[in-house]
Chain A
Amino acid sequence: DTAVSQTPKYLVTQMGNDKSIKCEQNLGHDTMYWYKQDSKKFLKIMFSYNNKELIINETVPNRFSPKSPDKAHLNLHINSLELGDSAVYFCASSQDRGPYEQFFGPGTRLTVL
């Protein structure tokens, strides 16, 4: 009965590699998000998709590319990984109307060596 799920939970990789994180929600929500939580535990929005359409795109390097094959899935692909990409990445989803309560996944801890 998992609401928002992410895979993998842990990802350790070398600099320069390309990796993907997958997210799925079974809440029937129309909007999905990717957040980055840095070492100081500060959460920051990266992207948001509504019904497969990009609606929020913060100042994120273009090495990060979200892809939404359908409204229940939002994957994050990262090219040419850098040390500074090490963080915990959270996926979230919400309904398409106020108060837009967001439900978060368990997070993916990415470590770039």
Chain B
Amino acid sequence: KNQVEQSPQSLIILEGKNCTLQCNYTVSPFSNLRWYKQDTGRGPVSLTIMTFSENTKSNGRYTATLDADTKQSSLHITASQLSDSASYICVLPQGGGNKLTFGTGTQLKVEL
């Protein structure tokens, strides 16, 4: 069964600190892995898309890593800001197509 599980479910950190979010997946065959950010009351916005050949990809203070052997990905956020408070969702397409399987999400809150 294609599944995407994320941890932790929620996280609170102080502004300026770093954090790492985890994603484990069983979706097969693998095509690409995406991280989305969803602010409260808004639609998800893509942060990174990684293919099988990429094991790390950055977008500003966001760095995603991929280990296709262990079927794990992480999203590292550096020097967190209040605006990073959001839900972060790990997403994989099924069978390389456009039908996406969404993870359970990690709710991040950055505090002063």
Contacts and interface: CB of A to CB of B under 8 A. Distances in A.
For the complex, would chain B's binding face be called helix, strand, loop or mixed by DSSP majority? strand
Given A4-B43, A43-B44, A105-B43, A100 B102 contact: no
Given A45-B99, A56-B99, A99 B51 contact: yes
A90 B51 contact: no
B74 interface: no
Nearest to B104: A42
Interface residues of B, number: 24
B93 to A, nearest CB: 6
A56 B94 CA distance: 12
Nearest to A91: B43
B27 interface: no
Interface of A: 4, 31, 33, 41-45, 48, 56, 90, 92, 94, 98-107
